[in-house]
Amino acid sequence: MPTLDVRCLSDKALANAERIFHDLKHQRMFPFNESDHDPVRHELDLRLLNEVLDITSEDAHNAVHRLRELLCAEPSIHGGKKSKCNLEKEWEKLK
C-alpha cells in the first residue's frame, strides 16, 4: 500500500508545511469525531494537498472530504455521540 514518505518532501514543501502549521496552530478545531464539518480541518486538508503535496485536483479534494465523512460515520470514532460541539461555549469555559 502506498504511503507518504515525508523524508522525500522538497525543502519548499516542508517550508510550506511549517507555514501552514504556524498559520493554523491557534485555531480552535472541533473534536475529531466532528471533523467532517470543521472549517479549520477543511482548510488544513486543502492547504496540505495544495501547498505541500501539490495536489490541486478537485476530485482529490472531494475524495478527502468524502473520506472525512466516512471516518466520522464510524462507530468507533463517533461513539454514538448525538451532541455537537459549541466552540464558543467551550471557549468561555476556559476563560
Q: Where are the domains of the chain?
A: 8-94
Q: What percent of the chain has pLDDT over 70?
A: 86
pTM score over 0.85: no
Tell me, what's the pLDDT at 15?
97
The secondary structure of 55-77 as a DSSP string is ---HHHHHHHHHHHHHHHHSHHH
Question: Between 87 and 24, whose confidence is greater?
Answer: 24
